[in-house]
Amino acid sequence: MRGWGLVLATALLAAPAVALADPCEGALPAPGARFDGPVRYVGDGDSLCVGRSSDPSTWIEVRVSDFYAPELHSAGGRAAKTMLEDVVWRQYLQCRAIKHSYDRVVARCTIDGASVGDLLRARGGVEGGAGRGGRR
């Protein structure tokens, strides 16, 4: 039986990890377009989904343009996600699409006229993503 345990452990370690994708499936607005709605999902410290309905097929995946959080898997990443959740969860955002990046739209979003990036910095949010090394 001990041999089977080793085989099972090896098989489990060799199996591909299942990536959990965000639920945002809405069509991305064109650059320059304005869109709005409540925040329905937060993926990490600078990514979220905005949607007017409870149907994820209408939620728009947004990369916040004016804040560059640490990556979720790096030091400070989980704290950055928690801070973004605290600032935006269920808040009504008004956004302007800037460009597409991968499967999301980079957009400048505001809550009552204040940009999400400014709100995060006012709360002590620290930028530091590994990508471009600063704001986009």
Q: Which helix (H) or strand (E) holds 44?
A: strand 34-44
Cα–Cα distance list, 69 to 33, 58, 89, 111, 129 (Å):
24, 25, 17, 19, 5
pLDDT digits (tens, 9 = 90+) for 62-119: 999 999 999 989 989 999 999 999 999 989 999 999 999 989 999 999 999 999 999 9
Rounded to two decimals, the pTM is: 0.79
Chain centroid to CA 124: 19
Question: Nearest Cα to 47, choosing from 68, 76, 16, 26?
Answer: 68
Q: Which band of pLDDT confidence, cut at 50, 70 and 90, is reported for residue 22?
A: confident
Taking residues 25-53, report their average pLDDT. 97
